[in-house]
Amino acid sequence: MQIPDRNDIVKLYEKLFRKLNAPNTLTSQTQMNTDRILYVRLPCNPIFPIGVVYLADRIHKLFPDVEQQIFDLGTIPPLDFASALDRAIDEFKPSLLVFSWRDIQIYAPVGGRGGNPLQYAFEFYYARNPLVKLRGALGGLRITTAYYTELWRNLGLIKRGLKRAKTYNPDARAVVGGGAVSVFYEQLGKSLPDGTIVSVGEGEALLEKLLRGDSLDDERCYIVGQTEPRDRMIHEKPTDFEKTACNYDYIETIWPAFNYYLQESDFYIGVQTKRGCPHNCCYCIYTVIEGKQVRINPADEVVAEMRQLYDRGIRNFWFTDAQFIPARKFIDDAIELLQKILASGMKDIHWAAYIRADNLTPELCDLMVKTGMNYFEIGITSGSQELVRKMRMGYNLRTVLENCRDLKAAGFNDLVSVNYSFNVIDETFETIRQTIAYHRELERIFGADKVEPAIFFIGLQPHTHLEEYAFDNDILKPGYNPMSLMPWTARKLLWNPEPLGSFFGEVCLEAWRRNPNDFGREVMNILEERLGCGDLEAALSAPIDTAKKSLVGASS
Ligand code: B12
Ligand code: SF4
């Protein structure tokens, strides 16, 4: 089958909108009284827009008569964004615009739009060679310009869409939500039209209340120009509901570009198996976006949802959970799900997820391999147990190693991405040596070519413990703008403080020079050349000390 070109998709939309609206004889009064929801996924790399799909599915289950459309700007070429949005609104005449904004990608460490932001930032901040510094400055300028252009463009699309929808329905409203809005809800509201509802976290309950005309007071949202975001709103518990299998028979009737994601075999289609993470890792905001209480989606429903995608040709799935196995007490749920996947006969699938590898058992490892897990990410951040404890990550690194051995013994022979973030807190040359020892042990277990060290520098995010730490230590002042890419703010938010900041800057610059295509492994090699490899036993033990600056002691 041919993969449709993006222009074909625009045409497809037009055709479907025409069909849905013909004959176009509804009076404006009738339209005003009938909810018509247009979901607009704002421009984004083509990651399957699972968020809007779930919202539309939920609303259809509750209000089967409500007309809905999904319009995904991720499948539209940039030059057509505005005109395609206009056409979608003209044809569908929505009374409610649900804008979903997935990522703003601030401080993304690798492969950002317009180049590698980390590399440019490091060249600008740390290079000794003035030409390299200049290249960093110019690259950084390009990225900063692209970043602000995208930001203003997306805000502009929201304003434009709402204005146009109001020409058909003067009472039309806009709601905005999604990952990016959840992180930057306080800042984004300042640039949105009055009356826009700004939502944090899951939107199912909020949309339900909106359609019923119920009060939104208990939802994690505020209305621009009318209410202010409550203090620590993001920390409030999300409203619970039981998730059932998404009805893709319905979704494909309201989403003409659905096929776009089905026809490329390398897409990993999102499926959520649970929500929430009980941990407290100092830099992480997932745990507040999704809440600390883990809510499991029933295994039969997850399998039924996968089955529908499988029957449409999908073989790659990404379990979009903050963590697939958030804690030991959820091991049985993971086992139940994987057993059911196995029993379903979907034998030729692959799946990937974020995995806390401290929560594995031999049985689970066996099932992971049998059900086709072919990639996972472990975010241990450091190979030093002492630092892992100080960053409040709750990991036992010795257990992680033991479980990785079980996984290998069960036959896992695919790729593991290990996320390291150097220099988060209390890093020393000794803890770096320990991280190298730990990494080398992972390589001995899985094979050096199978373990990919993903070197991140933490981009400080609002509402995290690390932000609190930055306030307590006078690194940032309350009221700073977490969305600013101005060099003086960016330098603080792209977390790489001195005294080790310049050292890491230099190591990374050398790694890009020596082997830009295998940056992570090269960083590890250079660190080992310069500092040597530590003792694994020392890496795995964390003497209890009460270092004043550690986050372990910070208030939560
Ligand atoms: C899984 C995940 C991934 C997977 C996705 C796999 C896949 N095939 O789907 C992978 C690892 C590939 C990934 C990559 C990246 N990710 Co990511 N990812 C996540 C994660 C953990 C879950 C997202 C998800 O799918 N959740 C499940 C679905 C159902 O939820 P949802 O889409 O958020 O939608 C719900 C709500 O947001 C809400 N909602 C959505 N839209 C709307 C609209 C309205 C009006 C309302 C009311 C509600 C609403 O309701 C929906 C249903 O409940 C989130 C963090 C988190 N816990 O949320 C980060 C997150 C979305 N990712 C983020 C980022 C930055 C990235 C990257 C850019 C990182 C990078 N440097 O490369 C890349 C993006 C690559 C790209 N665009 O090209 C950020 C985005 C915020 C930001 N800082 O900009 C997040 C929030 C993490 C974070 N705090 O930093 N990611
Ligand atoms: S375990 Fe992962 S998702 Fe949970 S708080 Fe830690 S980093 Fe965030």
Mean pLDDT of 524-548: 86
Inform me whether the pLDDT recorded for 238 exceeds 70. yes
Which two three-digit tokens encode residue 171? Answer: 């009472």
Same domain, 208 and 307: no
535 C-alpha to center of ligand 2: Å?
A: 27
User: Which ligand 2 atom minimizes the distance to the CA of 278?
Assistant: 4
Q: Give the pLDDT confidence score for residue 143 in this predicted structure.
A: 81
Mean pLDDT calculated for residue range 234-256: 94
Q: Is the CB of 98 under 6 A from ligand 1?
A: yes
Nearest to 512 by CA among 235, 165, 127, 224: 127
Mean pLDDT of 115-140: 86
Ligand 2 within 6 A of 277 CB?
A: yes
Q: Are residues 223 and 277 in the same domain?
A: no
d(CA 209, CA 195): 16
Cβ(70)–Cβ(88) below 8 Å: no
Q: Are 375 and 404 in contact (CB under 8 A)?
A: no
Instruction: Indicate which ligand has the atom closest to the C-alpha of 290.
Output: 1
Ligand 2 centroid from CA 173, angstroms? 35
Query: Which range has the worst mean pLDDT, 20-24, 424-428, 503-507?
Result: 20-24
Which-ligand-closest: CA of 176?
1
Per the structure, how many domains does the chain have? 2
Phi, psi angles (nearest 5°) of residue 541: -110, 140
Same domain, 304 and 231: no
Does some domain include residue 423?
yes
What would the two tokens of residue 355 be? 């995995």
Q: Is the CB of 106 under 6 A from ligand 1?
A: yes
Residues 212 and 272 in one domain: no
- Higher confidence at residue 146 or residue 277? 277
Confidence band of 485 (pLDDT split at 50, 70, 90): confident
294 lies in the same domain as 419? yes
Question: Which residue among 235, 253, 282 closes a domain?
Answer: 235
Q: Are residues 279 and 208 in the same domain?
A: no
Nearest-CA residue for atom 1 of ligand 2: 279
Tokens of 407: 């996984």
- Does residue 468 lie within any of the structural domains? no
- Lowest pLDDT segment from 270-274, 286-290, 311-315, 340-344: 286-290
The ligand that comes nearest to the alpha carbon of residue 279 is: 2
Residue in 277, 328, 381, 388 to alter for ligand 2 test, most ligand atoms within 8 A of Cβ: 277
Q: What pLDDT is attached to residue 494?
A: 83
Cα(102) to ligand 1 centroid in Å equals 5
User: Is residue 240 one of the residues assigned to a domain?
Assistant: no
For residue 82, what is the domain's CATH number? 3.40.50
Kindly calculate the radius of gyration of the chain based on its CA atoms and give it in whole angstroms. 24
Range of the domain at 65: 6-105+172-235
192 lines ligand 1 (CB under 6 A): no
Domain boundary among 219, 235, 251: 235
- Best mutation site among 280, 284, 400, 463 for ligand 2, i.e. most ligand atoms within 8 A of its Cβ? 284
Q: Whose CA is nearest to atom 3 of ligand 2?
A: 322
Ligand 1 atom closest to residue 105's alpha carbon, by position in its atom list: 84
Task: Give me the pLDDT at residue 487, please.
Answer: 78
For the CA of 277, the closest atom of ligand 2 is: 4
To the nearest whole percent, how much of the chain has pLDDT over 70?
A: 89
CA 273–ligand 2 middle distance (angstroms): 16
Question: Residue 36: enclosing H or E segment and its boundaries?
Answer: strand 36-41
Ligand 1 pocket mutation pick from 182, 266, 320 by most atoms within 8 angstroms of CB: 320
443 lines ligand 1 (CB under 6 A): no
3-class DSSP state for residue 208? Answer: helix
Residues 218 and 280 in one domain: no
Model pLDDT, residue 295: 95
Ligand 1 atom with least separation from CA of 179: 86
Burial of 348 (0-12, 13-18, 19+ CB in 10 A): exposed
- Residue 230 CA to ligand 1 centre (angstroms): 23
pLDDT for 551 equals 64
Give 388's pLDDT tier (boundaries 50, 70, 90).
Answer: very high
| Beta carbon of 314 within 6 Å of any ligand 1 atom | no
At residue 553 the predicted structure's pLDDT band, cuts being 50, 70 and 90, is very low
407 and 536, same structural domain?
A: yes
> Using CA positions, which residue lies closest to atom 8 of ligand 2?
284
Instruction: Say if residue 62 is in the same domain as residue 207.
Output: yes
What is the pLDDT, as a whole number, of residue 489? 80
Structure tokens at 60: 């259809």
Cα 320 to ligand 1 centroid, rounded to whole Å: 8
Mean pLDDT of 484-507: 87
Q: What is the mean pLDDT of the chain?
A: 89
Looking at 235, 253, 277, the residue that finishes a domain is: 235
Task: Note whether residue 278 is domain-resident.
Answer: yes
Q: What is the per-residue pLDDT across 164-187, written as a single tens digit (0 to 9) for each?
A: 999 999 999 999 999 999 999 999
* 451-465 tens-digit pLDDT: 999 998 888 899 999
413, part of any domain: yes
pLDDT-above-90 percentage for the chain: 73
CATH number at residue 362: 3.80.30.20
Question: Is any ligand 2 atom within 6 A of the Cβ of residue 286?
Answer: yes
Domain assignment present for residue 114? The answer is no
Could you tell me if 209 and 357 lie in one domain? no
Q: Is residue 1 assigned to a domain?
A: no
Pocket lining: 322 vs ligand 2, CB cutoff 6 Å = yes
Task: Determine if ligand 2 sits within 6 Å of the CB of residue 287.
Answer: yes
Ligand 2: does its nearest atom lie under 6 Å from the Cβ of 281? yes
pLDDT tens, residue by residue, 247-305: 999 999 999 999 988 887 678 999 999 999 999 999 999 988 999 999 999 999 999 99
Q: For residue 281, what are its two tokens? A: 């890792």
- 274-275 and 295-296 as β-strands: parallel, antiparallel, unpaired? antiparallel
**Maximum mean pLDDT: which of 72-86, 135-149, 541-555:** 72-86
Residue 264 confidence (pLDDT): 74
The residue type of 546 is T
Q: Whose CA is nearest to atom 61 of ligand 1?
A: 179
pLDDT band at 545 (very low <50, low <70, confident <90, very high): low
Question: Which atom of ligand 1 is least distant from the CA of 270?
Answer: 9
Q: Are residues 330 and 429 in the same domain?
A: yes
Nearest atom in ligand 2 to the alpha carbon of residue 280 is 5
The reply to whether ligand 1 has any atom less than 6 angstroms from the CB of 238 is no
pLDDT digit string (tens) for 185-231? 999 999 999 999 999 999 999 999 999 999 999 999 999 999 999 99
The confidence score (pLDDT) of residue 265 equals: 67
User: Which ligand neighbours the alpha carbon of 43 most closely?
Assistant: 1
Is the four-CA dihedral 44, 167, 60, 257 of positive or negative sign? negative
- 351 and 214 in one domain? no
Contact 391 CB / ligand 2 (< 6 Å): no
CA of 62: how far to CAs of 203, 209, 213, 358, 372, in Å? 14, 11, 14, 39, 34
Residue 4 has a pLDDT of 44
Whole-number Å distance, alpha carbon 459 to ligand 2 midpoint, is: 15
Burial of 130 (0-12, 13-18, 19+ CB in 10 A): exposed
Atom from ligand 2 closest to the CA of residue 322: 3
Structure tokens at 144: 């900063």
Q: Which residues of 295-331 are buried (b: 16+ CB within 10 A; e: fewer)?
A: ebbbbeebbbbbbbbbeeebbbbbbbbbbbbbeeebe
Let me know: does 178 contact 202? Beta carbons within 8 Å. Answer: no
pTM, to two decimals: 0.92
**Is 440 part of any domain?**
yes
User: Could you tell me if the CB of 277 is within 6 A of ligand 1?
Assistant: no
Output the pLDDT for position 544: 65
